[in-house]
Amino acid sequence: MAPERVRSTEDTPYDIRSDVWSLGITLVELATGRFPYEGSDFQIISSILELPSPCLKISDGYTADFCDLVDLCLRRKVEERPRYATILVGISKAYLRQIALIRGHFQQHPFIVNNEKADTDVSEWFSEIMT
């Protein structure tokens, strides 16, 4: 959940750029094979609000294009996040160089491993974690 969604009030509504944050989190999770925050729901929300945004490092084998794209998506200031056209260009560049690395992590992701051979009702699963 994007920081502005956690802090949202009638005076400071969030908009579709919150989805850009979510894309950044998803890219980190796909690239590393794990969710970038740990702990209870409260601890995760606190981390989103208080800790620096997750980042990927070139030294871990990610391309500069991919690291830059993730960094842009996870900007705390909504107005600094990229627009969709920029994201598509960034993904195209990064994807071509990163696909092998991401594919390996994706296949080992706990959700995939645990649910690959099971009938998983995603809406039920989501409802469970939200209660």
Residue 98's pLDDT is 62
Q: In the CATH hierarchy, which top-level class contains the domain 3-130?
A: mainly alpha
Give residue 52's pLDDT.
Answer: 93
Which regions of the chain are under pLDDT 50? none
69 contact partners, CB below 8 Å, separation of at least 6: 27, 82, 87, 90, 91, 93, 94
- Quick one: pLDDT at residue 128? 79
Q: Assign 118 to helix, strand or coil.
A: coil
Pairwise CA distance, residues 117 & 82, whole Å: 37
Q: Where are the domains of the chain?
A: 3-130
pTM for the full predicted model: 0.67
Q: In this predicted model, what pLDDT tens digit does every residue of 23-57 receive, in sequence order?
A: 999 999 999 999 999 999 899 988 988 999 999 99
